[in-house]
Amino acid sequence: MMDEEVYSMEFTNNGRAYVHLTGDICAKKIRNTFFVIALNENWIKGQRSILWHFKGAYFPDFFEFTGIFKNAHMAQNFTRPGKSAAVIEEDSQMQKQVSNFYSNIAEMLTERKIKHFNTVEEAEAWLDS
């Protein structure tokens, strides 16, 4: 998988993945990023939490909403119980609505708990609880 096909990410020793989403948001890149996370040894053996940080990330004019459904159904086979937090710093109603939409689908199809936050600190506190 080429670097441009996934978002920048890092893993902590306790199994948390930090994903940095910038630029145009792309459903395919989110899916590819999730697969890299789901196959990571530290994440599998750790707490299995993910912090998706949308900073300077925007929905392009032609966002593929069908990609959200593809991602959720594919994640159903790869996901593990755990928590995911989405940090949306920009006051974008569109980002919040799409994030809520994706979260609702993912929670219905997987065993992950997903919440949205305005700051990384709030998200980390919830992930640690």
Q: How far apart are CA 38 and CA 103, in angstroms?
A: 17
Average pLDDT taken over every residue of the chain: 80
pLDDT of 30: 85
Give this prediction's pTM: 0.80
Amino acid at site 117: F
Task: Assess whether pLDDT exceeds 80 at residue 111.
Answer: no
Task: Assess whether pLDDT exceeds 70 at residue 72.
Answer: no
Q: How far apart are CA 103 and CA 40, in angstroms?
A: 22
Task: Assess whether pLDDT exceeds 70 at residue 45.
Answer: yes
Domain regions of the chain by residue span = 3-128
Per-residue pLDDT reduced to its tens digit, 2-37: 556 999 999 998 889 999 998 888 888 888 898 899
Q: Which CATH class is domain 3-128?
A: alpha beta
